[in-house]
Structure 1
Amino acid sequence: MATETPAILALDFDGVLCDGLLEYFQTSWRTYCQIWQPDNQTIPDNLDASFYRLRPVIEIGWEMPILIRALIQGVPENTIVADWSVVAQDIIKLDKLEPATIGKEVDSTRDEWIATDLEGWLALHRFYPGIIERLDQLLRSDNSTELFIVTTKEGRFVKQLLQQQGIQLSEERIIGKEIKRPKHETLRQLLGQYPGTLWFVEDRLKTLESVAEQPDLNNVRLFLADWGYNTKAQRDSVSRDSGISLLSLTQFVQDFEVWH
């Protein structure tokens, strides 16, 4: 059992602190409609539920409307889970699309939404139970843990969402999409600034594995958030041998001594 307190606690945002599935789906649907221009732009029944279940297969933003396209075309969910990269590539080849172009469309759709209805956009993000209380506790306690958020979401939106909940975290503690560097590089820089133990909580297994592959980061404690955007197979694959520990939300919101 871990009884020590980390010198640095680095946390992912979406899928660890905040559930953004509602926003992901709405942005994906709007982008899908922009690209494919369906005659009927009413969201089909149960499309959102299928999207939520399959969200863990998405690694890069351009894949979001492609997942909508696959579901609209009737690709079985088990096929998407098993062969997502093949399914996605088949769709973009058939429809003569480019990932970079789709990605720009996703970003512009989101940017336009934010520009015209920021409050509505922010309202689609929900913090997981107990998260805000735990963050408040960490920031108010007199322990020596330095708290950072390391995310692919834009830092300004993370700051706004936290402020709405009464959490004041300075801009330099929110390392977002705008930094444009891999998370393992960010962790390396944090260790250079704050010597000591670093714990990193992330819901994307591949991200944790990329950190584990860095020889100079082998002392970083890695935790896979089991409540985030990952699959049962990914959670089951985590073992002590991998250097990654499975963490439950119940554990996360309690003292560090419960993390094990």
Structure 2
Amino acid sequence: MGDLYALDFDGVICDSCGESSLSAMKAAKVRWPALFNGVDSTLENWVLDQMRIVRPVVETGYENLLLVRLLLEMRVPSIRKSSVGEGLTVEGILEKWSDLKPVIMEEWGEDRDGLIDLFAKVRDEWMDHDLKTWIGANRLYPGVPDALKFTSSTIYVVTTKQSRFADALLRELAGVTIPPERIFGLGSGPKVEVLKQLQKKHQGLKLHFLEDRLATLKNVIGEPELNGWNLYLGDWGYNTQKEREEAASISRIQILQLSDFSKKLK
């Protein structure tokens, strides 16, 4: 029996936090230019540092824009336009993001599709004008390129990133080309639905799903139809100590270390 691995991208294959935070900063300046009046490089660097801490809450890339703005509002009360900014901490964002996000979206008058389009446009322009720097703002986790190159398993990428960005990074950083029909990106539907498609298509293979978001793995557990999948939480990705401890208490989930990743893919 062969193995099929469905792999998340950001936080499993690629540490994209540097690039996504910089892209979000660029996009925020386009979307809310007045917000950045008087914002100097020291404050921008503080925001970028905090973005790495709050990165575990991000499910879809556009949320990075919201986090950039929320962090600025937390630091500069005079620009605050949301009711949640006062007294909010980075820890508070980590704990309450799912409650905070709809509130700030409404108070700022933003819509998801508009922010997704802007975030993609800014990334495309950066890639068009300076591909080398865009690529350089990302890094693949150690050992991952060789694991992907030499595996005998069937590999799919299942991500909320837009497929063209994942494809470009795999080619440029890993020298790996995964056929487009094996990359399920933003717009492919919920990950649980993608996994259902894959298990129908590949009956007879042993199924493995590797994620760095505990919430996504819990969604899979909530679907009885997906009981055949082996589930892994990558402890090197964008998750917190609290989430790793919770995952350790769930029998369906195995916590995987980066050093074991390439051995798993074999």
Q: TM-score range with shorter-chain normalisation?
A: 0.7 to 0.9
Alignment of 1:17 onto 2:13: yes
Residue 232, structure 1, aligned to residue 257, structure 2: no
For 1:85 and 1:209, how far apart are their aligned partners in 2? 15
Question: In the alignment, is residue 108 of structure 1 matched against residue 121 of structure 2?
Answer: yes
Q: 1:157 offset after TM fit, Å?
A: 2.8
**Could you say which structure has the higher helix fraction?**
2
| Amino acid in structure 2 at the alignment position of 1:116 | H
Where does residue 72 of structure 2 map in the other structure? 72
- Which residue in 1 is equivalent to 2:218? 209
Partner of 2:193: 185
Match of 1:117 in 2: 130
Deviates more, 1:163-172 or 1:71-80: 163-172
Which one of 198, 203, 209 corresponds to residue 200 of structure 1?
209
Out of 12, 32, 37, the residue aligned to residue 36 of structure 1 is: 32
Provide the C-alpha distance between the structure 2 equivalents of 1:119 and 1:237, rounded to a whole number of angstroms.
39
Instruction: Report which stretch shifted further, 50-59 or 98-107.
Output: 98-107
CA distance in 1, matches of 2:165, 2:237: 19
Counterpart selection for 1:175 from 184, 197, 211: 184
Work out the percentage of aligned pairs sharing the same amino acid. 33
Once residues 58 and 193 of structure 1 are traced to their aligned partners in structure 2, the CA distance between those partners, rounded to angstroms, is 30
TM-superposed CA distance for 1:50, in Å, is 0.8
- Given candidates 86, 97, 100, the residue that maps to 1:87 is 100
Consecutive unaligned residues in structure 1, runs of 5 or more: none
Distance 1:240 1:234 in 2: 10
Judging changes above 3 Å, is the alpha-carbon distance between structure 1 residues 148 and 88 closer, same or farther for their aligned structure 2 residues?
Answer: closer
Distance in 2 (alpha carbons) for counterparts of 1:161 and 1:62 = 19
Q: Is the 8 A contact 1:32 1:68 kept in 2?
A: yes
Work out the CA distance in 2 between the residues paired with 1:148 and 1:36: 37
Q: How many residues align?
A: 247
Contact 1:61 1:106 (8 Å CA) reproduced: yes
The 8 Å contact of residues 234 and 257 in structure 2, kept in 1 or not, is answered as: yes
Normalising by structure 2, what TM-score?
0.83
What is the CA-CA distance between 1:222 and the residue it aligns to?
Answer: 0.5
Change (3 A) 1:100 1:149: closer
* 2:217 corresponds to 1:219: no
Root-mean-square deviation (CA, aligned residues, Å) is 2.2
CA distance in 1, matches of 2:216, 2:123: 24
SS at the partner of 1:73? Answer: helix
Q: Contact 1:33–1:41 at 8 Å: present in 2 too?
A: no
Question: Helix, strand or coil: the match of 1:224?
Answer: strand
Structure 2, unaligned stretches of length 5 or more?
75-87
Q: Does the Cα contact within 8 Å between 1:114 and 1:121 map onto a contact in 2?
A: yes
Kept in 1: contact 2:61–2:160 (CA 8 A): no
Q: Cα distance, 1:169 vs. partner?
A: 2.5
Measured in 2, the distance between the counterparts of 1:241 and 1:92 equals 33
Q: Secondary structure at the match of 1:228?
A: coil
